[in-house]
Amino acid sequence: MEGEPISALCTPALVVDVDKVKENAKRMTERCQKLGVQLRPHMKTHKTLECADIMTGGSRRCIVVSTLAEASFYADHGYDDILYAYSLPFDKVERCAALSEKLDLFQVLLDHHDALEQLKKRPLRDGRLWHIWLKLDCGNGRAGILHSEPQALRLAQAIAETAGVQLTGVYAHCGNTYNCTGVEQIQSVAQETTILTLQFMEKLKSVGITCKSSIGSTPSCSHPVKDMAKLSEVHPGNYVFFDVQQSLIGSCSLKDVAVRVLTRVIGHCPHRNQLLIDCGWTGISLDGAGKLPTGYAVIEGHPNLKLLSMTQEHGRVEPISGPLDYSKFPLGSVLTLIPYHSCATAAMHPVYHVHSQGRLLGKWTPTRGW
Q: Divide the 370 residues of the chain into consecutive groups of 10 and give the mean pLDDT of each group.
A: 94 98 98 98 98 98 98 98 97 98 98 97 97 95 92 97 98 94 96 97 98 97 97 98 98 98 98 98 94 97 98 98 97 98 98 98 97
Question: For 302-338, how does the pLDDT look when each residue is reduced to its tens digit (9 = 90+)?
Answer: 999 999 999 999 999 999 999 999 999 999 999 999 9
Instruction: Report the C-alpha gap between 15 and 137 in whole angstroms.
Output: 35
Domain 254-364 CATH class label = mainly beta
The CATH code for residues 36-239 is 3.20.20.10
**pTM of the predicted model as reported, rounded to 2 decimal places:** 0.96
Asked whether the beta carbons of 367 and 13 are under 8 A apart, the reply is no
Task: Report the pLDDT value the prediction gives residue 30, as an integer from 0 to 100.
Answer: 98
Q: In the predicted model, what is the mean pLDDT of the chain?
A: 97
Task: Report the pLDDT value the prediction gives residue 241, as an integer from 0 to 100.
Answer: 98
Instruction: Report the C-alpha gap between 283 and 9 in whole angstroms.
Output: 14
Task: Report the pLDDT value the prediction gives residue 340, as an integer from 0 to 100.
Answer: 98
Task: Report the pLDDT value the prediction gives residue 329, as an integer from 0 to 100.
Answer: 98
Task: Report the pLDDT value the prediction gives residue 1, as an integer from 0 to 100.
Answer: 79
| Length of the chain (residues) | 370
- For the chain, which residues make up each domain, given as ranges? 36-239, 254-364
